[in-house]
Structure formats: structure tokens, C-alpha cells
Amino acid sequence: MKQEELSLEEQVERIRRKRAGRPDNAKARMVLNTLFLVLAAIGLIMYFFAEDNHTTALIVIAVGMVFKVVEFILRLL
């Protein structure tokens, strides 16, 4: 049966059944994304206001990127 032949209600029900098997990880993704944003902001502040060594700021940004990659992988699952 083609997608165009299904009524709107049938299409919505089909999508709900498909999503029912997936775990709901929206809360975990939100926490990971918030951690990424906070670490990125802290890293940028450290980078521009620390005059002697930028390595620490780059490490903080890299840790934030790890959280973002994990969040991206959860989005794909």
C-alpha cells in the first residue's frame, strides 16, 4: 500500500507504532546539550581572557565536544 493511499489518521498511527519501539532519550539529550553549551562558553571565556596559556581552554572545549558527539549519537538511535 502506498503512503498516499493511507488516510491522515492511518499515517499518524503508523508513525506512532514505529516510534513506540524507540527509547525516549530526549531528557538525556537535553542534559548533554546543556553541558556542551556551558563548557563551550566557559572554554571561550577562558581562551579570550587567559593571556598565558590557551591549552586549558582548548581542553575544556574538547570535553564539551565529546558531550556533543554523544548527544548526536543518541539522536541517531
In a domain, 3, yes or no: no
In a domain, 64, yes or no: yes
Regarding pTM above 0.85, the answer is no
In a domain, 28, yes or no: yes
In a domain, 30, yes or no: yes
In a domain, 38, yes or no: yes
The Cα 58–Cα 52 span in angstroms is: 13
Domain total in the chain:
1
3-state secondary structure the chain: CCHHHCCHHHHHHHHHHHHHCCCCCHHHHHHHHHHHHHHHHHHHHHHHHCCCCCHHHHHHHHHHHHHHHHHHHHHHC
pLDDT in tens, 21-59: 777 788 999 999 999 999 999 999 999 998 888 999 999
In a domain, 16, yes or no: no
In a domain, 14, yes or no: no
Domain housing 70 = 23-76
> Is the pLDDT assigned to residue 71 strictly greater than 80?
yes
State the cell numbers at 33: 546539550
Higher pLDDT, 77 or 36: 36
State the cell numbers at 22: 524507540
In a domain, 15, yes or no: no
